Amino acid sequence: MKPLLIYYADDDIDDLNIVTEAAEYFGHQTKQFFNGIDLLNDLIGKNEKPDFILLDYFMPGTDGLEILKKIRASSFSIPVVMMSGTCPTNMLLEFLKQGANYIINKPTSFKAHQQNIETLSQIDWETLRFSVDDFKE
């Protein structure tokens, strides 16, 4: 598996560090952002683009959903994975409506973070498709 560049925005330093450590275990590089605005500014200002973006939902100021909307309103076609400690069905549906490529509950253990990174790094983002109908009750 080729090393990936993962952008990750989260206001929790512990989560940023554990995801970075989990990604490094597989040889991937993670660029950390304490908020989504800094992530957006980095995307705009650089030629280097990540293989995918991990975006926490609950962040002060501009939340992850608003950042997702801004990414999708731009010319960037980068896969976005929404993360949240709580994911009720209505939130899942809104993430999908706004263009999230994948959604995960934010894990609490290092092993679970490793499993998420391993799963995400093996996804063929070109063919992965979810529909809002997949999640309706």
Q: What is the mean pLDDT of the chain?
A: 90
- State the average pLDDT over residues 37-46: 92
Cα atoms in the Cβ-side hemisphere of radius 13 Å centred on 77: 2
Strand pairing class (80-84; 29-33): unpaired
Give the residue numbers spanning the domain of 130: 5-114+122-135
Query: What is the number of structural domains in the chain?
Result: 1
Q: pLDDT at residue 132 above 60? A: no
Q: What is the pTM of this model?
A: 0.91
Give per-residue pLDDT as tens, 62-101: 999 999 999 999 888 899 999 988 777 788 889 989 999 9
Closest CA to 78 of 54, 56, 96, 51: 51
Residue 69 maps to which CATH number? 3.40.50.2300
Residue 130 pLDDT more than 70?
A: no
pLDDT at 71: 95
